[in-house]
Structure 1
Amino acid sequence: MDGMSLLTITVLAVFVGFEVVSKVSSTLHTPLMSGANAIHGIILVGAIIVAGQATDPWVLTVALLAVVLATANLVGGFVVTDRMLHMFHARKDAARPAAGDKAAGK
């Protein structure tokens, strides 16, 4: 494939990805994020394999950049998932009455 075809596929994938993700409700976001983190982990392993087998300095540079970006994406996904889970956890705690409130008849 030539460069223009690859660029066209990338741009179309970005648009489709944006449309799909923007339609997801907040309730489903956390499970989908966990699945995306698993995919990013596979991408990271692939980038490490490519970097380990690279003989050309240009390929090694691009592969190392892919490792750095995949790592940042993977860690960022887990951070966002963790923050969202804490938001739901705080909501459950606020909805429950405290143990002392039940005993006092409040």
Structure 2
Amino acid sequence: MTGLLTDVTMFVLAVLVGFEVISKVPATLHTPLMSGANSIHGIILLGVVVVAGSARTPLEYALVAVAAAFATANVVGGYLVTDRMLEMFRTREGR
């Protein structure tokens, strides 16, 4: 029971600290920070590979597949958002 209470306490504190930090980010920095944060999901993909090596049951395989799909979507999305954001600063030919 103590372990569960500790885990719930850490989760609630993480949510509160995360909300406080994110709410202080100005709108002009939101997109660059979020695209960078999404690309960090590449680390989660490495974790998925490690966990996939020890998966034995169909439920574990399903959870690995879901984690891999979400992490991949975040990595790709982070890079696409960054590329689109940087496209705004490139000069166009013919102007």
TM-based fold match above 0.5: yes
1:61 aligns with 2:58: no
Identity of aligned residues (%): 51
The residue identity in structure 2 corresponding to 1:75 is V
The residue identity in structure 2 corresponding to 1:62 is L
CA apart distance, 1:70: 0.8
RCO higher in structure (CA 8 A, sep ≥6): 2
Q: Taking structure 1 as reference, are residues 12 and 75 closer, same or farther at Cα in structure 2, changes over 3 Å only? A: farther
What is the SS of the residue equivalent to 1:24?
Answer: coil
1:41 aligns with 2:42: yes
Residue pair 1:33, 1:81 contacting (<8 A) in 2 also: no
Residue pair 2:45, 2:71 contacting (<8 A) in 1 also: yes
> Which residue is 1:24 aligned to?
25
Unaligned runs of 5+ in 2: none
TM-score with structure 2 setting the length: 0.67
Residue pair 1:47, 1:63 contacting (<8 A) in 2 also: yes
Q: Distance in 2 between matches of 1:28 and 1:69?
A: 21
After TM superposition, the structure 1 = structure 2 runs for residues 1-106 of structure 1, keeping only pairs within 5 Å, are: 1-2=3-4, 6=7, 9-25=10-26, 26-27=28-29, 29-30=31-32, 32-33=33-34, 35-87=36-88, 89=89, 93=91
Q: Distance in 2 between matches of 1:23 and 1:43?
A: 26
| Count of residue pairs brought into register by the alignment | 90
The residue identity in structure 2 corresponding to 1:47 is V
Q: CA RMSD in A?
A: 2.8
Q: Taking structure 1 as reference, are residues 62 and 11 closer, same or farther at Cα in structure 2, changes over 3 Å only? A: farther
Residue pair 1:37, 1:77 contacting (<8 A) in 2 also: yes
The residue identity in structure 2 corresponding to 1:43 is I
